[in-house]
């Protein structure tokens, strides 16, 4: 089998997903191998379309895409749109590593992990998730670029005191009194 460049890998995955989404055929084993290769690039992971991260094979992708859009053209456009940031970055003049290093020179990228697990809810294992995040960050080439901070048993009344910039929170649980 021929070794593909990173951009060829991404384009092949995109083409396989378009084919599967529009009634065509693609090799599930090839998709799995290319997906594994792509996800091994930690610096690219934020740009990888979410459905590539979550769909481990083409059958899972088919279940996802067939209900999202009824028509082939909408499916193609959606896939192209979601791959565009990754392809733009790979086709750009500046490699991802240089942009990360530049950010580190202007100050660390701060990751704030806030945790609360009210006693009347199911245990969330936030400590384990925090350790896993920390382990992954420590293994990366750019581990010094990130500063991981954590605050536990956080209350919504003090939340604004812990954050200084808007961000996109990721939550595993939901407080019973929270709004949808």
Strand partners, 114: 151
In SS3 terms, the chain reads as CCCCCHHHHHHHHHHHHHHHHCCCCCCHHHHHHHHHHHHCCCCCHHHCCHHHHHCCCHHHHHHHHHHHCCCHHHHHHHHHHHHHHHHHHHHCCCCHHHHHHHHHHCCCEEEEEEECCCCCCCCCCHHHHHHHHHHHHHHCCCHHHEEEEEEECCCHHHHHHHCCCCCCCCCCCCCCCCCC
Q: What is the pLDDT at residue 133? A: 83
For the stretch 55-66, pLDDT in tens is: 999 999 999 999
92 compared with 26, residue with greater pLDDT? 26
Residues 63, 54, 163, 118: is their CA dihedral positive or negative? positive
Using the 3D structure, point to which of 75, 91, 107 is the last residue of a domain: 91
59 and 132 co-located in one domain: no
Q: Does the pLDDT at position 67 exceed 60?
A: yes
Tens of pLDDT along 98-142? 444 445 445 677 777 777 777 778 877 878 888 888 888 778 776
Instruction: Enter the tokens of residue 44.
Output: 């690219």
Q: In this model, does residue 12 exceed pLDDT 90?
A: yes
- Residue with the larger pLDDT of the pair 174 and 39: 39
Residue 177 in any domain: the answer is no
Question: Are both 106 and 35 inside the same structural domain?
Answer: no
Mean pLDDT of 39-54: 93
Q: How confident is the model at residue 34 (pLDDT cuts 50, 70, 90)?
A: very high
Q: Are residues 35 and 75 in the same domain?
A: yes
> Confidence class of residue 29 from pLDDT cuts 50, 70 and 90?
very high
**Rounded-to-integer distance, Cα 83 and Cα 13, Å:** 10
Same domain, 15 and 64: yes
Residues spanned by the domain of 77: 6-91
- Domain total for the chain? 2
Contact by Cβ (8 Å): 79, 22: no
Q: What pLDDT, on a 0 to 100 scale, did the predictor assign at position 158?
A: 62
Q: Are residues 86 and 131 in the same domain?
A: no
Task: Let me know whether 130 and 154 are in one domain.
Answer: yes
117 or 67, greater pLDDT: 67
């Amino acid at each position: 089998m021929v070794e593909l460049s990173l951009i060829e890998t991404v384009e092949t995955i995109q083409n396989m997903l378009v084919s599967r989404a529009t009634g065509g055929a693609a090799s599930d084993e090839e998709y799995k191998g290319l997906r594994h290769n792509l996800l091994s690039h930690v610096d690219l992971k934020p740009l990888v379309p979410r459905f590539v991260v979550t769909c481990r094979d083409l059958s899972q992708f088919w279940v996802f895409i067939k209900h999202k859009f009824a028509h082939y053209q909408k499916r193609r456009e959606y896939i192209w749109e979601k791959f565009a940031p990754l392809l733009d970055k790979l086709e750009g003049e500046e490699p991802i590593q240089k942009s990360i290093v530049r950010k580190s020179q202007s100050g660390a990228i701060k990751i704030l992990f806030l945790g609360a697990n009210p006693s009347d809810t199911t245990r969330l294992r936030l400590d384990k998730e925090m350790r896993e995040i920390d382990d992954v960050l420590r293994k990366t080439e750019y581990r010094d670029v990130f500063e991981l901070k954590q605050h536990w048993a956080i209350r919504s009344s003090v939340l604004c005191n812990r954050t200084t910039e808007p961000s996109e929170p990721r939550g595993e649980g939901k407080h019973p009194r929270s709004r949808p």
